[in-house]
Structure 1
Amino acid sequence: MPEQPIVFAYLDEPPFCWPVADGTAQGCDVELVAAAFRMLGITEFEQQLTTFAELLPGLASGQWTVTTPLFVTTERRLLVDFSRPVWALADGLLVRSVDRGRLTGYRAIAAAGARLVVVGGQVQEQAGLAAGIAQERMIRVATQEEAVAAIRKRQADAYASVAMAHRGYLARQPDAELAVVDVPTGESIPAAGAFAFGKQRAVLRARFDAALESLIGSDWHRAMMARHGFLAGEY
């Protein structure tokens, strides 16, 4: 029986991952997963661009082997297994520049009756609801591009994700009319993210974790993460 191919599923969300013209992916998560696989003697693996809504169901059903890191939650652990954490990041808001002094966090959005756009299923949706943003002021989309478009078209007032994702987006597509706001401490604390594996790949995940232990914190890793804009306390 032929060996099952290794498939890495990722999102278009710089600086973590993004597709390039030749059909491959780039980003800090891509570099880290490739380095870990090389340590295991795996020099080739497939890369599959997908949406957040398809990410974990595809993993659980065996469509792919491992996904780009995402926040570790109790609910997600019921579906998949996680590697050791590879980063810890706080939330941020992407807003129109004229609103950066007004929409300073989830509570400010709730108080203003403003509209928050999120990628459906991501943890920022629950953070916004917990801060008092009304369900009818919450807009759910499938991708980062759709969320940014909602801000530009004034269909929403703020887009919630990790601040690093917003900065990565603006680094690739600078726009003076957009600004990043760090969600205040107390409304968002840095949370751990990790690669996710299907529960049927426990042996590979354990070997992958051992490789990560050797890589994370190494000179190569620190230089790579700095090149993608991360600070020392974020990984």
Structure 2
Amino acid sequence: MKFAFLQEPPFCFTDSSGALHGCDAVLAEKVCQTLGLEGFSAVEAEFAELLPGLAGDRWDMTTGLFISDGRKKLVDFTRPIWMLSDGLLVARDNPRGFVGYRSVAMDQTGMIGVISGQIQHQTALRNGIPAERIRIFGTQAEAAEAVAAGVVHAYASVAMAHRGYLAGRPDAPLAVIDVTAEEKQPAAGAFALAKGNAPLRQRIDSCLGELLGGTWHRQMMREYGFSEGDIDRLL
């Protein structure tokens, strides 16, 4: 089983020795082991490569992605493995006073960063941020560094991903602003699989049904900063 991942803590990330960690990676490997699938191997990719890589048989499953109608035309999704809220990564002390997407839209010079192909790009547009004030990046690190350098004034992604990034960089001059449910409801994410393999998807779903919310899963998710409420939202 080849698993495609991004460097995006707490979901997936490698340490200095190259070992893979993160809640999505650990869960994927657990599912692989439980189902007796062929040896688990991880392939690092950029976000824009994930779905084309499935279609091209470069890997069998991806890290968790938000489920959308557009993506469901291209790939199949397992049952959800998390349901999370968006957040903005901003300069420390939030000098522009952002509270969500709409406040960025109202700031006539405010620039926002997004990752190519991620749902937050469309969310920014729907909340009134003009396309010319949206800067697109390839990776989490590039977008976060752009905020620190003042190239953009906010970076939109999952709030938990921002916190995971900052956990490994406590001295970074950055902070996380949670986007309210009024602007963007928490959304479900799942592993993505290539279309046309319903038996595999059904086996994975069955395994996830047994694992999610159980003692092992709850302990693992706590280790990566998830609350009981984050887990219960799935069940």
State the TM bucket, normalised to the shorter chain: over 0.9
Aligned amino acid, residue 114 of structure 2: V
Which residue number in structure 2 is paired with residue 200 of structure 1? 196
Paired positions, count: 230
- 1:14 is aligned to 9
The structural deviation recorded for 1:7 is: 0.5
Is 1:129 matched with 2:146?
A: no
**One-letter code aligned to 2:68:** T
Tell me how far 1:39 sits from its aligned partner.
1.1
Q: CA deviation at 1:32?
A: 0.5
- Report SS of the residue matched to 1:34: helix
String of CA shifts for 1:108-160, please: whole Å, max 9, x gaps: 00101200000011111111111111111000010001101111111000000
Unaligned runs of 5+ in 1: 1-5
- Structure 1's consecutive aligned runs of 4 or more residues displaced over 6 angstroms after TM superposition are none
Q: SS where residue 196 of structure 1 aligns?
A: strand
Counterpart-to-counterpart distance in 1, 2:67 and 2:210 = 21
Match of 1:158 among 154, 170, 177: 154
- Which amino acid in the other structure matches residue 133 of structure 1? I
Q: Distance in 1 between matches of 2:118 and 2:95?
A: 23
Q: Does the 8 Å CA contact 1:100/1:179 hold for their aligned counterparts?
A: no
Q: What is the correspondence of 1:1-235 to structure 2 with a 5 Å cutoff?
A: 6-42=1-37, 44-99=39-94, 102-113=97-108, 114-175=110-171, 177-235=173-231
Q: Mark the runs of 5 or more structure 2 residues left unpaired by the alignment.
A: none
Maintained 8 Å contact 2:105/2:127: yes
Q: Secondary structure at the match of 2:200?
A: helix
**Displacement of 1:202:** 2.3
TM-score w.r.t. the length of structure 1 is 0.94
Other structure's SS at 1:136 match: helix
| Cα distance in structure 1, aligned partners of 2:19 and 2:192 | 20
Shift of 1:21: 3.0
Return the alpha-carbon distance in structure 1 between the equivalents of residues 172 and 8 of structure 2. 20
